[in-house]
Structure 1
């Protein structure tokens, strides 16, 4: 038990998501869920993540009880002052992760700082234990000259 607790404490702290809306897409109750995810490290950037959530009726009829599709879309915007001073350019960092199946599959958002072009890149993708997935979506946030940290900052 102590080893499990220690392992959980060592995981990076990821942003929590706030559900903004659910959009019904059919008569059996499948939805597209839209969540707001604030970047916990940079601050001043909020991403809106959309993904498909299967209904109980769909799960019963399809026989795949414990898994949602990996498809997602992401759009990010500057919503306040941005500080990139602690970021390492070109290094993908976890911002958000949410399970998409009982085990082994998750929807992730990673941040990559392009220091040369003064842009934050946010990549939403599926992560699976045994097979990678080509399903992804990307959004960029151009940084103003007054963003804290990096070249061009005051």
Structure 2
């Protein structure tokens, strides 16, 4: 028996295959008052690279408030910013996934995700993290990058 995935079924399968988001919320700042539901906000979250020990990234991203935001039906804007830093000795795995997704978070009920991809610039000995917002139907060109030079780490 064969099963064919419709457009919605295919979208659901793609979203389920994405890695989960594991970030700690650092804090939020309200940017617009909403009479009903939570205010619009910009929030800062931190996550550690799951494959490269010694690197932590901080994301800032908007959250839509109001009634739609309160019940989870809002589509958050694509604007995001990233800053990654070396926080300990960097340990690169031998089979580092070039362009691999190291963080993923849902930005709308079905079709939009925020993703962080990691690249290695071997010539310059630098890790590069790219944050983008993608949509199955119409992706967003909005992006931000952060570079982490791989440096010796001296514990004090």
Question: Shorter-chain TM-score: which interval?
Answer: 0.7 to 0.9
Q: Which runs of 5+ in 2 are unaligned?
A: 1-12
Report matched runs for 1:111-150 at 5 Å. 111-145=118-152
Q: Secondary structure at the match of 1:134?
A: coil
Structure 1 outlier segments of 4+, above 4 Å:
10-15
Aligned ranges 1:1-154 → 2 under 5 Å? 11=17, 13=19, 16-28=22-34, 29-57=39-67, 59=68, 65-88=73-96, 91-145=98-152
Structure number having the greater strand percentage: 2
**CA deviation after TM superposition for structure 1 residue 56, in Å:** 1.8
Residue 66 of structure 1 deviates from its aligned partner by 2.8
Give the gaps of 5 or more residues in structure 1.
1-6, 147-154
Number of matched pairs: 133
**Alpha-carbon distance between aligned partners in 2 of 1:31 and 1:135, rounded to the nearest angstrom:** 19
- The alignment's TM-score, normalised by the length of structure 2, stands at 0.76
- Matched-pair contact (CA < 8 Å) for 2:51–2:93: no
TM-score (ref. length: structure 1): 0.77
